[in-house]
Amino acid sequence: MDDTALWIVSLLASTVRLATPLVLASLAGFYSERAGVVDIGLEGKMLTGAFAAAATAAVTGSPWAGLAAAIAASLVLALVHGFACITHRGDQVVAGVAINTIAAGLTAVLANAWFDLGGRTPSLDGGQRFLGLHFPLAETVRGVPLLGRFYGEVIGGQNLLVYLAVLAVPATSWVAYRTRFGLRLRAVGENPAAVDTAGISVPWLRYRAVLITGLLCGVAGAYLSIAQGAGFQENMTAGKGYLALAALILGKWRPYPTLAGCLLFAATDALQARLQGVALPVVGAVPVQIIEVLPYILTILLLAGFVGKSIPPKAAGQAYVKDR
Amino acid sequence: MSASTNTDGLPRWATLALLPAINLFAALVVSSLVILAIGQDPVSALAFMVKGAVGSGTGLSYTLYYATSLIFTGLAVAIANHAGLFNIGGEGQAYVGGLGTGLVCLALSGWPWYAVLPVAVLAGALFGAVWGLVPGYLQAYRGSHIVITTIMFNFLASALMVYLLGGPLIEHGQMAPESREFAESTFLPAVKDIAASLGYRTSTLPLNLSLVLALLCAAGVWFLIWHTRWGFQMRTVGANEAAARYAGINARTTIVIAMAISGALAGLVGINELQGVQHRITLNFQAGMGFTGIAVALMGRGHPVGIVLSSLLFGALYQGGAELSFEYNEISPRLVVVIQGVVILFSGALEHMFRPAMARLLKPKTPATAGQRA
């Protein structure tokens, strides 16, 4: 019984760790998409953030400098996205593809040139990363069955950015549904002409949304390379940006359901790693790929309206042309 | 992603030649800046790239070999684009298409290559078509966004192939996730065989007969898009779906057909990579060719001639970039990916940035229009 409890606690802790970058990135996507700017460039912004964080932390020795660099680098790409899609009314999907491609190439080229480690950055030691925080009394209550370990290893013991991601969900919900900015943000994603008629600048509103997206993607990237990981590797986001987008779709472009989507995807990921080669009751050993593709299949079915229906913001994907 | 918007009075030659040239120039400037940031001399690096790509028979052979795959994926992106669809799933369609081609080559051991080829082409096209058709169907009939669905299908393709090559298809007693080698009789003739039959001995060169198939496909796409009813329907749906419906075109069927043809074209990458060069099904053999097809199609303005030319350019970049990274340790071969991204940015996402300025520059200044403005 104690083994099972241990297994569950480690599964939950792993789920939280895996969900964090998804939560940050899908909330990032929330701001952009609710403002009417489709962003498939979450992946590229995260990857760039991861590289900037690891490179800066390795050189300066400070995780805070790394985090700042990650946000700055991701913001630059967010501005490129805004410049192409808002200022020049370019195709939002194509701009996202361009950002992902540039990020994939540039991070590999710069990592290779600056650190000469074949596309990696140097391994970071403890002082250069965000490490797990020890919660008070964690050692004392450790002996309490199940809950003790749950408190010490799932609720506590995570790094600072995990708690930031946890806070980002209610914060986003509050901003989107309780503030003037949030109301306008949602309006501009549904009916930009109405917002424009009210005398509010559509481009400026969308630029602010896209910049928040950049900020959160930068944090997500920094989490990957200087909190969860200890350095940058080529293409280390490995599709997490797309998965975050899928979670946003699964959550029907709302913060809390999106969080649930992220947790579901993270749990399948954590489970997948633990079920490798394990024979399950009734079905026997299942190829891990079947568990791995569940998030993708779920997203496809949901978008097609076979299980529920996920409807994107009405003006998402369209550039706003002011009538003259 | 408009295929050929021509509402701003920009002359056709400018759209077809000048804009790609400006985009190429912008890409060159950005990549020079990247090389400078690394602390290398961009002029000598770029000169070395050109030499590596076209300066020798070997280099040229590799350039054309890369270009072959890119013609397939570039055409795939372009044909979907003509129907107003952004097919970002060329990567997965190429991967699954290669599975079809590979299975045929494995099954038809002992058959001569010219008998295997038609079956392998059909199987590759069919497998790729299915992988494109399903997202097309979901877009046309269920309203799911083609971009998201094709991205998801890329992941599905990758998981499927990892599963198959790690288990059912793996060569017995081997650790590497690959199928067994095809029988030698099924190999497509390569340049080295032709050279050998003429009495020249060359090292192994990857260029093979599938380049001819790629060029035939380019001609076929040109004919289909501009000289058939289907092509007309696709272009109409792409230009204005509602208008196409009013005109009595079945937009849904057209979308499904366009995606099937798009997937089929991407699915032929395996003919070049597997039947032509690797001679077994390998993990990730398509190696980004599907994504590069997006840049190729955008740069080639969706026209088969432009696509063949930009495939040659990107093929040269791939080969030149690989040579460059052998010569300069500091420069990663992934520099090509940066250039590719910049091309997508400038000729795709920022296509409206250069157009108005150019239209203004090229517009003949007549007194009449000047008078109207004043």
Higher pLDDT, B195 or A161: A161
Q: Is residue A173 part of a domain?
A: yes
Interior angle at CA B305, CA B299 and CA B309, nearest 5: 55
pLDDT at B4 exceeding the cut of 60: no
Give the pLDDT confidence score for residue B2 in this predicted structure.
43
Contacting residues for B173 by C-beta, under 8 A, at least 6 apart: none
| φ, ψ (nearest 5 deg) of residue A141 | -90, 0
Question: Is any Cβ of chain B less than 8 angstroms from the Cβ of A291?
Answer: no
Higher pLDDT, A221 or B167: A221
Look at B337 and A104 and tell me if their CB atoms are within 8 Å.
yes
User: Rounded to whole angstroms, how far apart are CA atoms B112 and B273?
Assistant: 18
Give the pLDDT confidence score for residue B366 in this predicted structure.
54
Look at B1 and A97 and tell me if their CB atoms are within 8 Å.
no
Confidence tier at B374 by pLDDT (50, 70, 90): very low
Q: Considering only A144-148, B30-34, B63-67, which range has the smallest mean pLDDT?
A: A144-148
Task: Give the nearest partner residue to B351 out of A90, A110, A116, using CB atoms.
Answer: A90
Q: Is residue A318 part of a domain?
A: no
Give the pLDDT confidence score for residue B370 in this predicted structure.
44
Token pair 């309203």 in the structure block, residue: B143
pLDDT at B367 exceeding the cut of 70: no
Q: How far is A300 from chain B (nearest CA, A)?
A: 6
pLDDT at B6 exceeding the cut of 60: no
CB B351 within 8 A of CB A90: yes
Q: Is residue A291 part of a domain?
A: yes
DSSP-assigned letters across all residues of A137-183: THHHHTTSTTHHHIIIIIISS-BHHHHHHHHHHHHHHHHHHHSHHHH
Interface test with A, best of B40, B256, B350, B354 (most A CBs within 10 A): B350
Count of structural domains within chain A: 1
Domain range enclosing A43: 2-303
Look at B340 and A101 and tell me if their CB atoms are within 8 Å.
yes
How much is the average pLDDT of B259-273? 96
* Residues A11-35 pLDDT 10s: 899 999 999 999 999 999 999 999 9
Q: Is residue A78 part of a domain?
A: yes
Q: Is residue A321 part of a domain?
A: no
Question: Which tokens go with A177?
Answer: 């549904």
Interface test with A, best of B152, B283, B298, B324 (most A CBs within 10 A): B152
ipTM, 2 decimals? 0.89
Which domains does chain B carry? 12-354 (1.10.3470)
Show which of residues 48-67 on chain A sit within 8 Å of chain B, judged by CB atoms.
none
* Residues A66-115 pLDDT 10s: 999 999 999 999 999 999 999 988 889 889 999 999 999 999 999 988 88
Show which of residues 21-50 on chain A sit within 8 Å of chain B, judged by CB atoms.
40
Question: Which tokens go with B239?
Answer: 């230009």
The domain that contains A140 carries what CATH number?
1.10.3470
Contacting residues for B81 by C-beta, under 8 A, at least 6 apart: B1, B3, B87, B238, B297, B302
Contacting residues for B358 by C-beta, under 8 A, at least 6 apart: B10, B14, B18, B19, B22
User: Rounded to whole angstroms, how far apart are CA atoms A271 and A135?
Assistant: 26
CA neighbor of A94 nearest in space, from B348, B95, B116, B64 = B348
Q: CA neighbours within 13 Å on the CB side: how many for A108? A: 20
Interior angle at CA A113, CA A111 and CA A118, nearest 5: 60
Q: Is residue A317 part of a domain?
A: no
